[in-house]
Structure formats: structure tokens, C-alpha cells
């Protein structure tokens, strides 16, 4: 039997835009910007997913085909917001407002390793949560957001949960399960 470990998953939510506590905006000299990737791009999204999640055991989407990525990204109410530092992708946040009316799930959020610990993550999460709350204004016929939620686990970055809580997300459910210990594949085979 393969080695296993206990993985704790926390489900966090905001139920009002007033719950959001904004992080400090990085000094403009740092050249940090956040922009919506308005054209669904499986290649770009897979790059972000693997580059951010490689050392945190994000593997659920690795076997997806191009078409599966395309279907996931190209849905009304789904958005990807990307943080850049001086033109270089630093991290991303995905907003899924397409699955449940009035609810927006932050399906993925994080920074590439070289950009962690510099205040970019709090800012990116603040922008992402704010865009989750005003998502209906960008999508015709989309209902107003009444709940923004996400989940994180003990395999994610050590500061992930604390960042979510500082931004005003509250834990509303916790689960634990034994899962196989996995190798961190890196953003590409052999990395």
C-alpha cells in the first residue's frame, strides 16, 4: 500500500461584500498590476495552474485535454484574473460564477514561487474577491453575487489559509481524509 497522509480541507466563505478586508496595494514602483484574461486560453491557464500548483500537489487538472480546459474556461460567468510584476505573470485567481446562480467559487488562487512573500498575494486575493462580488456587472443576465467561497487544504502554501482569513473569509466547514503522498511533478515533466 502506498504511503498516505492526513489532508485537512477547509471551506471558507464570504456572504456579503462588506466581509472583504482589502490588503495593502503594492507600491506602484513594484510594477504590480492585475488584469482579467478576457480570452479563454487553455495553454495560458494550464501554465498558470502548473506553475502555481506544482509544489502544492495540484494535480486534478493535469490529465485534462485541451478540449476539457476549453470547456472549463469558456463558460459565461467564469473569469481568470492575473497578477503581473513588470509584465511577468506572478499569479492568478479563477472565479467560477457559472456553476451555481448567485455563488462565485474561487476555484484556483496562488502565486508562482518566485513571487511569494512579497505582498502580491494579499493584493491579488483582494482584487479577485472584489471582482467576484461585482461579477454580475460584467455578464448579461448573471444574478447578483450573494456568496463567494473557496477551499484550501493542508497541502497548499503555509500562508494560504491565513491570507484568506485576513481578507475576510470565514471557515464554515472542515474535513480530513487520508490521501496518498504524492510527488510534486513541477510545472512540466522532469522539472
Q: What is the pLDDT of residues 120-169, one digit of tens each?
A: 999 999 999 999 999 999 999 999 999 999 999 877 777 889 999 999 99
Determine the average pLDDT of the residues in 6-20. Answer: 94
* Residue 190 confidence class, pLDDT cut points 50, 70, 90: very low
For 4-180, the fitting CATH number among 3.50.50.60, 3.40.630.30, 3.30.479.10, 3.40.50.11540 is: 3.40.630.30
Map out the domains of the chain as residue ranges.
Answer: 4-180
**CA dihedral of 148, 130, 92, 183, whole degrees rounded to 10:** -30
* Residue 2 confidence class, pLDDT cut points 50, 70, 90: low
- The CA-atom distances, in angstroms, between 140 and each of 38, 76, 77, 104 are 15, 9, 9, 16
Neighbours of 24 (CB within 10 A): 9
Q: What is the pLDDT of residues 28-48, one digit of tens each?
A: 778 999 999 999 999 999 999
30: its cell numbers: 513594484
pTM above 0.85, yes or no: yes
Which pLDDT does position 160 carry in this prediction? 87
Q: Taking each helix axis from N to C terminus, what angle separates 66-73 and 42-53, rounded to the nearest 10 degrees? A: 90
Instruction: Please enumerate in sequence order all residues whose Cβ is within 8 A of that of 68, keeping only pairs 6 or more positions apart, or say none.
Output: none
Which pLDDT does position 106 carry in this prediction? 98
Amino acid at each position: 500500500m502506498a504511503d498516505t497522509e492526513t489532508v485537512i480541507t477547509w471551506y471558507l466563505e464570504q456572504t456579503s461584500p462588506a466581509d472583504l478586508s482589502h490588503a495593502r496595494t503594492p507600491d506602484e514602483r513594484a510594477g504590480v498590476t492585475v488584469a482579467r484574461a478576457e480570452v479563454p486560453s487553455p495553454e495560458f491557464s494550464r501554465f498558470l495552474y502548473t506553475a502555481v500548483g506544482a509544489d502544492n500537489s495540484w494535480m486534478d487538472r493535469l490529465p485534462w485535454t485541451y478540449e476539457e480546459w476549453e470547456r472549463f474556461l469558456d463558460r459565461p460567468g467564469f473569469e481568470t484574473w492575473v497578477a503581473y510584476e513588470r509584465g511577468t505573470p506572478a499569479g492568478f485567481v479563477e472565479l467560477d460564477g457559472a456553476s451555481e446562480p448567485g455563488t462565485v467559487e474561487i476555484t484556483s488562487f496562488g502565486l508562482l514561487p518566485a513571487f511569494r512573500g512579497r505582498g502580491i498575494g494579499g493584493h491579488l486575493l483582494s482584487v479577485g474577491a472584489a471582482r467576484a462580488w461585482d461579477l454580475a456587472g460584467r455578464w448579461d443576465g448573471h444574478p447578483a453575487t450573494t456568496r463567494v467561497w473557496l477551499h484550501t487544504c493542508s497541502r497548499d502554501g503555509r500562508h494560504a489559509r491565513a491570507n484568506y482569513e485576513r481578507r475576510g473569509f470565514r471557515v464554515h466547514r472542515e474535513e480530513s481524509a487520508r490521501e496518498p503522498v504524492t510527488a510534486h511533478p513541477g510545472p512540466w515533466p522532469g522539472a
